[in-house]
Structure 1
Amino acid sequence: MKIKNLIIFGTRPEAIKMAPLVKEFQKNTNHFETRVCVTAQHREMLDQVLHFFKITPDYDLDLMKANQNLYSLTADIISGLKSILEDFKPDYVYVHGDTTTTMAASIGAFYSGAKICHVEAGLRTHNKRSPFPEEINRQVTGRIADFHFAPTTASKNNLLAENINPNSILVTGNTVIDALLASVSIVDNVDNEEIDYLKTIIDSSKKIILVTGHRRENHGQGFNNICEALKEIAEQHLNVQVIYPVHLNPNVKEPVYEILSNISNVNLINPLTYPAFVWLMKQSYLIITDSGGVQEEAPSLGKPVLVMRDTTERPEAVDAGTVILVGTNKERIVSETNNLLINIGHYKYMSALHNPYGDGKACQRIVEFIRTN
């Protein structure tokens, strides 16, 4: 009898990181019946990733709504999954990372009696307010999960410190590297209007600084500081071009456009689809971000990363030297950027460091573990 898998995700980052796992399970149809459920916690950005990876969900809760809040979203996910879990009766449910979809789906799967597999398990800041609500989402999921697919040894050690059974933990590397390495070879040849547009605005004579920022804990003064830092960097270095795909959240968009919209070597653009973003990462000199996924991806492309957060649940990258935490401190962002722009030896050293997040074979390890357990 085939093992029945249900893979659940709801946001663009989850979709990117779960897509290679979906594909790997779908190669193994002799052993597995695999179905995909999306909550559509994000809608448009999620659909772009599904299209790129050629994944058609078997179930779509289509939950995204205007002015969505954590209370209603959590309740809607749990209740929306009930009929799916009762109909399909999966043996294993796979959730990823730290989103509200992750936490709520793990609760629903627990109620159904399925075994819960947590992909990208064990990341911790040990500060329940940072990142919010992601840290608690991870910890709740970690208490519920039956199997923990940890990206690094440090993540495994976090789980062991919480008395998780060591036999339930597998260090896999991060599936985002699987997705990235599969995508890099595609994006140079894909027919993509956004990539065509980016080619028209990029000045090849300049060093490209790619910026992304959206995290809730940076809203307010944090984003004002970030934007003031970027303004100073752009004005100090005319040989630099800042390209910033701006998140649509008004708490992000308003300060970004107010402070940065009239600077000649700053390009504020709409959010990018995954293939266009991968292409732009490849063209960049360095990346300034508050994104967790970018911290993992960029080192595989040899791109130094400055992380605009005070804490990170990905300390391996800090320890390895592939990223530097700068928070939302204007002076720190400017000084660390200046160092990478001016000190070529420092830049070359940082860009050549080994990525601690994996070799692109995480999904193979997960499939083999489930097949043999």
Structure 2
Amino acid sequence: MNKRKIAIVFGTRPEAIKMAPVINELKKHQNIFETIVIVTAQHREMLDQVLEVFDVIPDYDLNIMKKNQSLSNITTEVLKGIESIYIEEQPDMVLVHGDTTTSFSAALAAYYLQIPIGHVEAGLRTYDKYFPFPEEANRQLIDNLSDLFFVPTEATKQNLLNESKNESRIIVTGNTAIDAILYTKEVERSHQVLDLMDSMPKQKWILLTMHRRENYGKPMSNVFEAVRDLIDSYEDVEIIMPVHLSPIVQSVAKEVLGNHSRIHLVAPLEVDVFHHVIARSHIVLTDSGGLQEEAPALDIPVLVLRDKTERPEGLEAGTLKIVGTEKENVVKHVKLLIEDSGKYNQMAAAENPYGDGKASYKIIKEIEDYFSE
């Protein structure tokens, strides 16, 4: 088989975490594949941290990040910047991940040039185009352009079958987030945040992350007020929140959660440090998608700060529980896990449905088979 050129495109921290294992697996097959890494830097600083941890050096960097950039701006900047790269490099396939605006734009540009598209983490659905926004629309649009679908679970495969996608092109791989977390948890790491957590081992640490656009405003304020109530109710609870770089998140977090000795607002953490923070936590409170997969891999219960999730497998397995953003509901469910060891242990012991850490290998094997045909 002739050597095939694979372009991998991503722009945000979560994409980088989940695509880095795929890149490193591709590099193990240099006799078959040539790898071209293109980053858009939709998130600049947060992206660079991940690249360093996984030793990934981009071949191209569009560096599109601007302060308060709109979704339209991201879309047009990626489209304009990436087309010339595709034309110059002539990749045999473009790999994109998940549901970001970078991924949608990169897939659209590949489609216009009739380049096959592989979608990593395909098939996730809420079937509400505004929730999460804009991710739900992005992932559906990408799947309508893609040629290979790498889905994390049987349920996500069924979503695509329900949409009349070609079953022979849908491959259940598990999620590459598990590949990443199994890699980083083996890496020894020192960091002041880890030192802080280790200095108080008897405290129950709650990891809080919140950044989604649909939670801006009252929903975010509600959750942060719930956290203030909880911290005042339990002397043995500490909150740690890596605060997203969004000015909106920064402002509300400082206003509601600032100036409390047991609430620790910290800068975004390098991915390997973050994975060690998850492992030391008692509960995870999040509106993130990736954390719904990562924390259960480390036996940590997850309370989801949304009204819907595109990861229903976690709900069915019992690793996740949706609690929404109403203050009283958040307080109720956190208290239940703090006070009821039976409920807590049931969630912690539930089997993570998102794979065995071999997703990247399965993806590369399927791409090889695709070109062999």
User: TM-score range, shorter-chain basis?
Assistant: over 0.9
Q: Is structure 2 residue 339 aligned with structure 1 residue 339?
A: no
Q: Is structure 2 residue 360 aligned with structure 1 residue 363?
A: yes
Match of 1:11 in 2: 12
Match of 1:66 in 2: 67
Which residues of 2 match residues 65-144 of structure 1 at below 5 A?
65-144=66-145
8 Å CA contact 2:194–2:276 kept in 1: the answer is no
- TM-score computed with the length of structure 1 as normaliser: 0.97
- Give the whole-Å Cα distance in 2 for the aligned partners of 1:322 and 1:204: 24
What letter matches 2:338 in structure 1?
Answer: L
- Give the whole-Å Cα distance in 1 for the aligned partners of 2:118 and 2:247: 35
Match of 1:276 in 2: 273
What letter matches 1:79 in structure 2?
Answer: K
Shift of 1:248: 2.4
Q: Classify the secondary structure of the residue corresponding to 1:117.
A: strand
Q: Deviations over 1:92-149 (max 9, x none)?
A: 1000000001100000011122100000000000000000000000010000001100
Q: Deviations over 1:175-218 (max 9, x none)?
A: 000011011001xx23x5xx234313652220101100111101
Match of 1:215 in 2: 212
- Give the whole-Å Cα distance in 2 for the aligned partners of 1:196 and 1:257: 20
Q: Classify the secondary structure of the residue corresponding to 1:303.
A: coil
Q: Deviations over 1:316-345 (max 9, x none)?
A: 111111010011011111111111111111
- Give the whole-Å Cα distance in 2 for the aligned partners of 1:101 and 1:221: 28
What letter matches 1:307 in structure 2?
Answer: V
Match of 2:239 in 1: 242
Q: Is structure 2 residue 369 aligned with structure 1 residue 372?
A: yes
Identity %: 49
8 Å CA contact 1:203–1:241 kept in 2: the answer is no
Unaligned runs of 5+ in 1: none
Match of 1:313 in 2: 310
Match of 2:29 in 1: 28
Shift of 1:157: 0.5
Say which of 228, 231, 236 aligns to 2:228.
231
Q: Which is worse superposed, 310-319 or 266-275? A: 266-275
- Give the whole-Å Cα distance in 1 for the aligned partners of 2:131 and 2:252: 22
- Give the whole-Å Cα distance in 2 for the aligned partners of 1:90 and 1:120: 21
Divergent runs of 4+, >6 A: none
Q: Classify the secondary structure of the residue corresponding to 2:186.
A: helix
Match of 1:49 in 2: 50
Shift of 1:90: 0.6
8 Å CA contact 2:6–2:94 kept in 1: the answer is yes
Q: Deviations over 1:62-91 (max 9, x none)?
A: 111112111111011011011110111111
What letter matches 2:230 in structure 1?
Answer: I
Q: Classify the secondary structure of the residue corresponding to 1:94.
A: strand
- Give the whole-Å Cα distance in 1 for the aligned partners of 2:251 and 2:12: 23
Shift of 1:253: 1.8
Q: Deviations over 1:2-28 (max 9, x none)?
A: 011000000000000000000001000
- Give the whole-Å Cα distance in 1 for the aligned partners of 2:223 and 2:83: 42
Match of 1:199 in 2: 195
Unaligned runs of 5+ in 2: none
Q: Classify the secondary structure of the residue corresponding to 1:306.
A: strand
RMSD over aligned Cα atoms: 1.0
- TM-score computed with the length of structure 2 as normaliser: 0.97
What letter matches 2:26 in structure 1?
Answer: F
Shift of 1:251: 1.8
Match of 1:251 in 2: 248
Shift of 1:349: 1.3
What letter matches 1:338 in structure 2?
Answer: K
Match of 2:286 in 1: 289
Q: Classify the secondary structure of the residue corresponding to 1:103.
A: helix
